[in-house]
Amino acid sequence: MPLSIFILTTFYGQIPDGLEDAARVEGTTRLGALFRVIMPLSAPGVATASVLTFIAVYNEYFFSSIMATSPEATKWSPIVGGILSYQTQYTTQYNLMAAASIIGVLPVVILVVVAQERIVSGLTSGALKE
C-alpha cells in the first residue's frame, strides 16, 4: 500500500498546475477540469497502484485460505506454502502441485496482461524528464 500511495503522489505531482488553469480559462469548472484534464492524465498511475493493491489483497486472501488448511505454511509465502502442502514425507502429489501453481498465479497474470501498457507507463513516469 505505501508503494501505491508513493506512485500516485508522484504521478499527481508531475501534472503541471497550468493545465488546470488552462481548462478554467476555457470556461470549465474545477470539477470539470478534474474530470477532463487531470483524471485522464492520471490513468497510468491509478492503473499501476490498482494492480499493486490487487496483488497485495490477493496474496492476503490466498494466505488466509492456506492457513485454514495447513498451519505449517507460516514459514513460506502463501502460494509456495499452499503448493508445498501437497508434499509429505513419503509422497509428493505433483499433479496437485501443478494445479495449485496455475490457480495461484493465473489471476495476477491475467491482470498484468490486460493492464500491461498502463503499468509500464505508470512505473516509468517518474524516470522520464520532460
Helices (H) and strands (E) in the chain, counts: 8, 0
pLDDT: which is higher, 120 or 13 = 120
How do residues 19-72 score in pLDDT, each as one tens digit?
777 777 777 777 777 777 777 777 777 777 788 788 778 777 776 766 666 565
Contact 56, 3 (CB under 8 A): no
How do residues 79-95 score in pLDDT, each as one tens digit?
777 788 888 889 888 98
Q: How far is CA 19 from the centre of its chain?
A: 28
Rounded Cα distance between 57 and 92, Å, is 29
Residue 69 makes CB contacts below 8 A (sequence gap 6+) with 85
